[in-house]
Amino acid sequence: MIDRPRRLRTNEILRDLAAETRPDSRKLIMPYFVREGEGMREPIGSMPGIDRVSVDNLIKDMEADIKLGVRSVLLFGIPDVKDSVGSGAYSENGIVQKAVRKIRKEFGDQVVIITDVCLCEFTDHGHCGIVDHGKVLNDPTLEILARTALSYAQAGADIVAPSDMMDGRVAAIREILEDNGLCDTAIMAYSAKFCSSFYGPFREAAGSAPQFGDRRSYQMDFRNAREAEKEIIMDIDEGADIVMVKPALSYMDVIYRARQLSSLPLCVYNVSGEYSMVKAAAEKGYIDEKRIVTEIMTSFFRAGSDMVITYHTRDILKNSWF
């Protein structure tokens, strides 16, 4: 026998030498849910370890997380008041704008700030766009998304990340940023974002479940991978700096295709439901959390991702899992 792959599996040093991939905690992005008020901390039942916090507590959490090694953060805002057009998203004193300014003031360039750009947390109907007669309208929504992205960039965000899935949003955001001299703000596009039941816990966290219907008229059909390639190509043409596949675990084929297709940095979003399943099974003692999380993160890098948004970031760093 000539081919004996086991030769390189003999001991740990050899295995490390031969390893093709290694997970890197510098490539993780930690999401936070920020709400109005002071001294507020509300645990999210379906996402153990993740809380909704007011800005003062957000700063405390981030200070501890930065000490652990968190370098990049993704912000979701939960406003007190919602309306039909999501005006809390682009208001100068919106919750995300206030959080971004405070983070920048406290931590300077120690942290990269990414803001999710979407309307569903800010609209009373819970859809990601303007609604008319039960329909989510594309083009009128673009203007509001662009205003929102501009406002986050002006507050100090390094990266704006549109997650709404309206057609043409990346171009609209790129144009408004350039017109306002914000040529250094990057766009991370949720390019292949599927309509997924894996977002269930997030909607509890953000109070953003649609009040009627569902998101199938704008988010992608999970039966489609060729269409994901088309979405990615469109976002690149429109000026995205980073493209994303979301969710992650059930979409490894899409991650792999995205990697073959594009030389842009690729992000994957290990979403709330994926996190909750691991946490629930770990709490029951069915699985070894450290090993499972390390294997999952490694698989994203092996599939071709350059960075991962994951709620596991704090646990990984706190326990030095890798």
CA distance 269 to 200: 14
Ordered DSSP codes for 193-216: EB--GGGHHHHHHHT---SSS-ST
> Residue 300, interface with ligand PBG (CB under 6 A)?
no
Q: State yes or no: is 246 an active-site residue.
A: yes
Using the rule CB under 6 A, which residue among 115, 272, 276, 310 binds ligand PBG?
272
Q: State yes or no: is 193 an active-site residue.
A: yes
Q: CB of residue 129 vs ligand PBG: minimum separation in angstroms?
A: 10
Q: CB of residue 305 vs ligand PBG: minimum separation in angstroms?
A: 16
Using the rule CB under 6 A, which residue among 32, 90, 202, 300 binds ligand PBG?
202
Of the candidates 182, 180, 181, 188, the one whose C-alpha atom is nearest the C-alpha of residue 72 is 188
Q: Select which of 82, 98, 102, 193 is catalytic.
A: 193
Q: How far is CA 291 from CA 126, 151, 288, in A?
A: 37, 41, 6
The region of 6-14, 141-149, 166-174, 195-203 touching ligand PBG under the rule CB under 6 A is: 195-203
Amino acid at 193: K
Cis preceding linkage at 247, omega within 30: yes
Q: Select which of 82, 98, 102, 246 is catalytic.
A: 246
Q: CB of residue 307 vs ligand PBG: minimum separation in angstroms?
A: 15
- Strand 135-137 to 130-132 pairing: antiparallel
The region of 50-58, 115-123, 257-265, 282-290 touching ligand PBG under the rule CB under 6 A is: 115-123
> Residue 199, interface with ligand PBG (CB under 6 A)?
yes
Q: CB of residue 274 vs ligand PBG: minimum separation in angstroms?
A: 8
Phi and psi for 49 in degrees, rounded to 5? 95, -10
> Residue 163, interface with ligand PBG (CB under 6 A)?
yes
Q: CB of residue 225 vs ligand PBG: minimum separation in angstroms?
A: 19
Helix axes 139-155, 95-107, angle to 10 degrees: 30
Closer by beta carbon to ligand PBG, 98 or else 169:
169
By CB atoms closer than 10 A (0-12, 13-18, 19+), residue 67 is exposed
Closer by beta carbon to ligand PBG, 1 or else 308:
308
> Residue 116, interface with ligand PBG (CB under 6 A)?
yes
CA 256 to chain centre: 18
CA angle 239–88–137, rounded 5-degree value = 55
Residues of this chain that bind ligand PBG (CB under 6 A): 116, 118, 120, 128, 163, 199, 202-203, 271-272
Q: Which residues are catalytic?
A: 193, 246
